[in-house]
Structure 1
């Protein structure tokens, strides 16, 4: 049987205590000590462009005492609008009808019992989305649409027909901006940048707000200014930090 000397016995007890303490440390604490610091940074970029396409939303609204007559009149006016637009060499793929709706019209006020009002007619509405690729004729197209039956204007927006190169340029510029910000922050903190952990990107067009007005109030030869549109991109990075 082995016997501890008076000197070695306290050393053995201390060693056992240190081993026990190491075994009782939480596993998460050990992992936290090994995890590198992380830097979250976001870069942004905006690439302006001259628009070469417009999207307009026209509408036809008709009313009649009879539902079928309201629909028939609406169909007649919309057919006239479509025929006029096709005369401007607008391709069928750039014309899309939507939101065909028929709703009752009620007499004003309520009866003496507060019950539902009596139906006195019907309103039919139909919307048409048009992509105009020849901006020089946009004002002319708007004017012609009004004169041939469109009596509601749902909005006007501008864009580009081939956004791919703009999207790539915006992403590249946003990535460079994010890396430049990260380098500035790391230098100020006295640390170095490590590998990138993750990349998250968001982006899209930012152009003039949709302009809304009643087509019945539009003058002949509607003046339109296209201005510019902007392709924006935002890139978020998570980067490891090296001490």
Structure 2
């Protein structure tokens, strides 16, 4: 599935007259028109990002960290056995205090230190997105007790990016010609071209996004990548000439 669209916007500016005594200032631009065009395309993602955490809570920081490390070992070993490259695995460690909020006399709030929480967050970049659900389930079975979700990326696709820039440039040129003809002028030389790739936005397929308890994860995690929208924007400025 691939859908695409193009939008455009035009701005016309006139000649600026320099003030007397400002001969040392740069020469102003001639009358010009700026047209912005954006091309979009819906594409199937190529990369899945799986994020899970191993969390342990204990009375002391050392006990929490040791327990977290013990639980993390089989999960990380499984990731390696699945052939995941070291560059595709990121780990983040966090240690925090855990407080109990209790109500004392006259319902006054009182915080009591309960212990420490150690969290090891694993982010896995998976190039075979069809494996995402199965791999997430395997890692949950191995001891990952917080499931943060799966997101999707397009990856580095220069060919499609170049095609979108080309489409946006052609649309901006076409629109500029229409505006110039309607205004009774003609286009001169191109004064400036700026391109701005736009970050892709994901669609929202109906999938399970997050859970914090192993027991609530189904046997088969039903993930579907849906589609992502990639965009490229072009701003072009032409000199305006008399007919």
1:58 aligns with 2:57: no
Give the whole-Å Cα distance in 2 for the aligned partners of 1:106 and 1:35.
64
Q: CA deviation at 1:132?
A: 0.8
Residue aligning to 2:211:
214
**TM-score for the superposition, normalised by structure 1:** 0.78
Higher helix share: 1
Q: CA deviation at 1:115?
A: 8.7
Unaligned runs of 5+ in 1: 1-24
Q: CA deviation at 1:157?
A: 1.8
1:107 aligns with 2:90: no
Secondary structure in structure 2 of the residue aligned to 1:213: coil
CA contact (8 A) 1:193 1:242 kept: yes
- Runs of 4 or more above 3 Å deviation: 25-28, 110-116, 209-212
1:240 aligns with 2:239: yes
**TM-score for the superposition, normalised by structure 2:** 0.78
Q: CA deviation at 1:36?
A: 2.7
Residue aligning to 1:127:
121
- CA offsets per residue over residues 176-228 of structure 1, 9 Å max, x none? 12111211111111111111111222113423268741152321111111122
Residue aligning to 1:196:
190
Give the whole-Å Cα distance in 2 for the aligned partners of 1:64 and 1:213.
24
Unaligned runs of 5+ in 2: 1-18
Residue aligning to 1:7:
none
Q: What does residue range 21-100 of structure 1 map to in structure 2 within 5 Å?
A: 26=20, 36-98=30-92, 100=93
Higher strand share: 2
Give the whole-Å Cα distance in 2 for the aligned partners of 1:214 and 1:108.
24
Aligned length: 214
215 and 146 in structure 1: CA distance in 2 versus 1, 3 angstrom threshold: farther
Residue aligning to 1:227:
226
Residue aligning to 2:14:
none
Secondary structure in structure 2 of the residue aligned to 1:168: helix
Secondary structure in structure 1 of the residue aligned to 2:101: coil
Query: Which of structures 1 and 2 has the bigger CA Rg?
Result: 1
Give the whole-Å Cα distance in 1 for the aligned partners of 2:147 and 2:55.
11
CA contact (8 A) 1:47 1:169 kept: no
